């Protein structure tokens, strides 16, 4: 089983100590991180030449996360498997340390997209909360798509009307019903072959969607972590679930992302995290315009012309205010 080069696989679970690794042949292994990792050039990417052989890169390398590709080797005595090497990441989803710390915590590595599930009703959608999820995806440089589930509970026009801002801002939006089957095939194709972080408020139908899309996966997205997390601000680790089918792909469940209300969001570049605001900001008179009371603000002008949604703009202002006044709760 163990080739001379070791076994390549992906980390599916763990928060330090023992990590669960799915080898590329599908077998599962428990492994701990070897004390001294083999040197890996995290900066070398296909077609790129960025080299970040700094202390920071070395530290980052040690922050193993779900989704990391690793190489396993037998330990000296030939018994247990150890993670000998973490392969370079092409992306990651990280949150800043709470309370204004400088550290960040990597929730998942090698993520291709963030899929945010809301319900058309029960629970009623909260677009300002959706905006926060989208800011986090943007701040991490990850594409996002929105799923509006439970469309069977409302008239089609109602569901579409509440979410028009999102296709306008450039986000793909799926309207689904696990009860009636609406939109499921298209969503399945959007997930297949990719690594998707699936998130959204509880009760919106994430588990139901996964079970409807990938029968046999037996994934209880959120079910375990939500109960474990109740009343606590700490987060239990993420888990990565391989999708059945030839195309492969994974769904990542990250309880830490669901506490999005407590995340520190970036202030300095917040306007870059709203694609439709980003499109206007360079025409503002001041390069450091915050799009508040400044004169000749092109973003505000675009809001007044109806080109940028008032609600999305208000989300931007609210997040900015909140961060500047150091109010982390919302
Ligand atoms: N009417 C309706 N109910 C749904 C739909 N999808 C899920 N539900 C129900 O919503 C509740 C929460 O679903 P669940 O998958 O556990 O949500 P999660 O917390 O996001 O994982 C359950 O009672 C589901 O039966 C849907 O498309 N339509
Ligand atoms: Mg669930
Ligand atoms: Zn401006």
CATH code for the domain of 45: 2.40.50.140
3-state class (DSSP) for residue 114: strand
pTM: 0.86
Domain membership of residue 174 (yes or no) is yes
Both 18 and 131 in one domain: the answer is no
Q: What pLDDT is attached to residue 36?
A: 64
**What's the structural domain count of the chain?**
3
Both 291 and 255 in one domain: the answer is no
Lowest mean pLDDT: which of 117-121, 129-133, 154-158, 213-217? Answer: 213-217
Domain membership of residue 280 (yes or no) is yes
Q: What distance in angstroms lies between residue 208's CA and the mean position of ligand 1's atoms?
A: 6
Both 155 and 75 in one domain: the answer is no
Structure tokens belonging to residue 201: 């408020």
Rg (CA), the chain: 21
Q: What distance in angstroms lies between residue 320's CA and the mean position of ligand 3's atoms?
A: 13
Pocket probe for ligand 1: among 116, 176, 203, 205, the residue whose CB has the most ligand atoms within 8 Å is 205
- Per-residue pLDDT band for 234 (boundaries 50, 70, 90) equals very low
**Which H helix or E strand runs over 74?**
strand 69-74
Structure tokens belonging to residue 189: 């194709």
pLDDT digits (tens, 9 = 90+) for 40-66: 544 444 443 344 444 544 444 457 899
Domain end call among 62, 89, 116: 89
Domain end call among 244, 262, 280: 262
pLDDT digits (tens, 9 = 90+) for 88-139: 999 999 877 555 555 677 889 999 999 999 999 999 999 999 999 999 999 9
Whichever domain contains 168, its CATH number is 3.40.50.300
Instruction: List the end-to-end C-alpha distance of the chain, in Å, as a whole number.
Output: 52
Domain membership of residue 2 (yes or no) is no
Lowest mean pLDDT: which of 151-165, 237-251, 252-266? Answer: 252-266
- Indicate whether 170 pLDDT > 50: yes
Listed residue (174, 172, 180) closest to 153, CA to CA: 180
Q: CB 157: neighbour CB atoms within 10 A?
A: 8
Strand partners, 114: 144, 197
3-state class (DSSP) for residue 12: strand
Whole-angstrom Cα distance, residue 256 to residue 251? 15
Domain end call among 89, 114, 135: 89
Domain residue limits at 151: 96-102+106-262
Both 180 and 244 in one domain: the answer is yes
Which atom of ligand 1 lies closest to the CA of 176?
A: 27
- Per-residue pLDDT band for 279 (boundaries 50, 70, 90) equals very high
| Residues with Cβ within 8 Å of residue 92, at least 6 apart in sequence | 65, 67, 106, 107, 108, 109, 110, 111, 140
């Amino acid at each position: 089983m163990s080739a001379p080069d070791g076994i390549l696989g992906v980390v599916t679970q763990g928060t330090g100590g023992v990590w669960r690794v799915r080898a590329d042949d599908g077998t599962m292994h428990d492994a701990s991180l070897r004390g001294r990792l083999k040197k890996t050039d995290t900066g070398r990417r296909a077609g790129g030449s960025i080299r970040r052989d700094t202390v920071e890169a070395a530290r980052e390398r040690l922050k193993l996360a779900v989704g990391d590709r690793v190489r396993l080797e037998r330990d000296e005595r030939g018994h247990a498997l150890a993670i000998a090497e973490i392969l370079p990441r092409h992306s990651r989803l990280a949150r800043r340390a709470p309370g204004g710390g400088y550290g960040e915590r990597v929730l998942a590595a090698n993520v291709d997209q963030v899929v945010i599930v809301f319900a058309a009703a029960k629970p009623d959608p909260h677009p300002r909360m959706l905006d926060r999820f989208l800011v986090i995806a943007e701040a991490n440089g990850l594409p996002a798509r929105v799923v509006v589930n439970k469309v069977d509970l409302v008239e089609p026009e109602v569901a579409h009307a509440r979410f028009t801002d999102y296709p306008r801002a450039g986000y793909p939006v799926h309207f689904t019903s696990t009860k009636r089957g609406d939109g499921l095939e298209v969503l399945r194709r959007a997930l297949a072959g990719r690594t998707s972080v699936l998130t959204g408020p509880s009760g919106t139908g994430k588990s139901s969607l996964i079970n409807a899309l990938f029968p046999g996966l037996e994934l209880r997205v959120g079910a375990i972590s939500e109960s474990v997390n109740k009343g606590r601000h700490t987060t239990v680790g993420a888990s990565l679930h391989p999708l059945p089918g030839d195309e492969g792909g994974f769904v990542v469940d990250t309880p830490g992302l669901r506490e999005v209300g407590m995340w520190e969001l970036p202030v300095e570049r917040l306007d870059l995290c709203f694609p439709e605001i980003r499109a206007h900001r360079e025409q503002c008179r001041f390069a450091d315009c915050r799009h508040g009371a400044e004169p000749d603000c092109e973003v505000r002008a675009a809001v007044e012309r109806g080109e940028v949604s008032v609600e999305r703009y208000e989300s931007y202002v609210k997040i900015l205010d909140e961060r500047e006044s150091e109010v982390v709760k919302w």
